[in-house]
Structure 1
């Protein structure tokens, strides 16, 4: 069994839960309230900026040119492929660039990005890759499943979302990430591999919390 398959099994219940979440169900059939989608777009826009920075930090710590190139490709894909979808939806919903620049992170978004930054700063590159993997791989899994069973007709306002995360371009980003994970796992000792699994599961939990955050329009209480 590949290391990525082991990771997927470690977080199986969490990942399976994503597909049943009301937010994803609303994307699938187009019934998701616009307010919740706009909330998600804004928070994910903030999240992806830090997510791309973590790839840059990992690339700076990498010892091989090949890995540095992989991290650079992934960062470019996040900034110029994935975030292009966010920018198009922002334009569609009348969200200005100035508005995006003045947004505050929700509690869940803040916690998730803080975890990623801490991991990149204090842990090995391999553990950092494991923490980054649930987002990019998980979105591709969600996108491909929605492409198979969801409403992709012009009547679904979220059909571009489904198309983006099931696209060949996003498949390549996911595959690059998994290849990096396998390479670092092969070189890691048993202790580091356990830390990789732990980081992967924590990020998987944050992914679940992120869907719930958008579904409930989470706010700071204090």
Structure 2
């Protein structure tokens, strides 16, 4: 019997959307090693801007936390996400002659902005930390699901310029972090009223749909780089 039945149900409901992400033109091109690097450069910039706003979601989540242990959990996840992504992300920025400071004045593209605005509002207006968790988990869990399958299907992707990104998100360490946070989410969402449980399902699925929108957006290069 699953130890995370509530989270598993959220994931199962969103799997058709995650499959669409995996089958998106951007990820198909990345998998084949044929993706236009201008599109990939735009993706790295948009991902960097996304992570800045993602941190704000956690800041709101911390305001909903009822214990110091819960606050430490938010801090640890944010630290893990930033540290795990930074090595490859910063190397890619360097490849394209960019730094974090260079891109901070750039706007988020509409699909990116809509996604982060939704997460912040869902967390800010939520009754507690469950809504925050429902907002932040789809990004983390879907990336592991997507890149693990992409790598299994096409191991040669590691030999392309996109290999470091795939390796990071398909790693056992990233998977372990995903499982740890699924376990924490299950505890945080235990005993929710039917109304709040339904709201969390709505948030999780909406954020999965925003993930799909992000991948579709990324298949077009930015015009300001």
* TM-score where L is the length of structure 1: 0.92
Structure 1 Cα separation of the partners of residues 158 and 84 of structure 2: 22
Q: Runs of at least 4 residues of structure 1 off by over 3 A?
A: 151-155
* 1:46-195 pair list within 5 angstroms: 46-123=49-126, 124-152=128-156, 155-195=159-199
CA 1:22–1:130 in structure 2 vs 1: closer, same or farther (change >3 Å)? same
Q: Equivalent residue for 2:208?
A: 204
Q: Equivalent residue for 2:7?
A: 4
CA 1:154–1:119 in structure 2 vs 1: closer, same or farther (change >3 Å)? closer
> Are 1:29 and 2:58 an aligned pair?
no
Q: CA deviation at 1:218?
A: 6.6
Higher mean C-alpha displacement, 56-65 vs 22-31: 56-65
* TM-score where L is the length of structure 2: 0.91
Q: CA deviation at 1:84?
A: 2.7
Once superposed, what is the RMSD of the aligned Cα atoms? 1.9
Secondary structure class of the residue paired with 2:189: helix
Structure 2 Cα separation of the partners of residues 154 and 199 of structure 1: 33
1:39 to 39, 42, 64: 42
Give the total of aligned pairs: 220
Structure 2 Cα separation of the partners of residues 127 and 49 of structure 1: 19
Q: CA deviation at 1:80?
A: 1.7
CA 1:56–1:152 in structure 2 vs 1: closer, same or farther (change >3 Å)? farther
Structure 2 Cα separation of the partners of residues 212 and 149 of structure 1: 21
Structure 1 Cα separation of the partners of residues 62 and 208 of structure 2: 22
1:10-39 deviation per Cα after TM superposition (whole angstroms, max 9, x unaligned) = 223211111111111112121111010001
Higher mean C-alpha displacement, 195-204 vs 76-85: 76-85
Q: CA deviation at 1:153?
A: 5.6
Q: Unaligned 5+ residue runs, structure 1? A: none
Secondary structure class of the residue paired with 2:52: helix
Secondary structure class of the residue paired with 1:11: helix
Secondary structure class of the residue paired with 2:107: coil
Secondary structure class of the residue paired with 1:102: coil
